[in-house]
Amino acid sequence: MREDIKFTIRVTDKECLVKADSDRGKHVLMNIATNARDAMPHGGELRLCWDVAEIDETFIKSHGYGEKGKYVLVSIADTGVGMDEDTQLRIFEPFFTTKEVGKGTGLGLSIAYGIIKDHNGYIDVSSEPGKGATFRIYLPLIESPEAEQIKQETLATLPKDHTGTILLAEDESTVRKLLKRIFERSGYRVVEAEDGEDALDKFTKNKDAIDLLVFDLIMPKKSGKEVYDEIRKMRPDVKVIFISGYGDDIVSKTGICKEGARFIQKPISAIELLEKVRGAIDSPKE
């Protein structure tokens, strides 16, 4: 997302577990989010919401599709230019696109549609010109006891009994809390920082105890790269992993690639993240 787009996430406190291929699921969400971004050339808001919904006879009659049951409902809503009714009817067709020639293949949403259907789910869109668009994805809900079994199996795959202290700097509180939970479940001690200046302050107070820096690359007040450069003056051997959800064009401008710094592109699975963290901590001093 660009800086002129407000991105908000709302997650229900209900259990939202589905059987899905995570990589293909990311593909669907990223594709819809990218289209939403392009539909807001002058800025706006993107809202991503998770909830539990039920498809019943009334829903099936009014929507013309569905099988009765409980579903995880993922809603992706933007405040962009919107679509007319004819466009909505064709939006999931292969090779149909509203973008200029050379700016899109028209395959993104048709592929997303196919992925959701492969998971026994449904996807639709509602929109009006000038009033944005809302995509709704329905995926069959897995309920207990199977849900609890899958959750425990997933947690069991995370490495345990790791040692070391990580200084985690991430300005998005939701992401920071999630990363902290992953690290702590694996045995690490975590020192949190909410922006660049806070990270520098936390390191100064704990510099002898920090084994690894995990820094969001783009943060308010000071970027992750700026903070790292200042920290290296105090501890030249400090190890760092940069993380970012920005594309290669933004990341390359920071200069970290030329310096050979470790870099993780969001999103990443918990297991992959922990493998990279362990590898960094166990690597020779820099």
How many domains does one find in the chain? Answer: 2
Q: Is residue 85 part of a domain?
A: yes
Query: Are 22 and 133 found together in one domain?
Result: yes
Q: How far apart are alpha carbons 271 and 254 in whole angstroms?
A: 27
Q: How far apart are alpha carbons 247 and 114 in whole angstroms?
A: 26
The pLDDT of residue 135 is: 95
| CATH at 197 | 3.40.50.2300
The pLDDT of residue 149 is: 63
The pLDDT of residue 144 is: 63
| CATH at 70 | 3.30.565.10
Query: Are 52 and 175 found together in one domain?
Result: no
Residue ranges of the chain whose pLDDT lies below 50: 101-102, 104-106
Q: How far apart are alpha carbons 125 and 150 in whole angstroms?
A: 31
The pLDDT of residue 152 is: 62
The pLDDT of residue 159 is: 65
The pLDDT of residue 197 is: 94
Query: Are 123 and 205 found together in one domain?
Result: no
Q: Is residue 146 part of a domain?
A: no
The pLDDT of residue 98 is: 64
- Contact at 8 Å (CB) between 206 and 233? no
Domain that holds residue 247: 157-282
What is the helix (H) or strand (E) element at residue 231, kind and residue range? helix 224-234
Please name which of 211, 209, 177, 181 lies closest in space to residue 193, comparing C-alpha atoms: 177
Q: How far is CA 46 from the centre of its chain?
A: 13
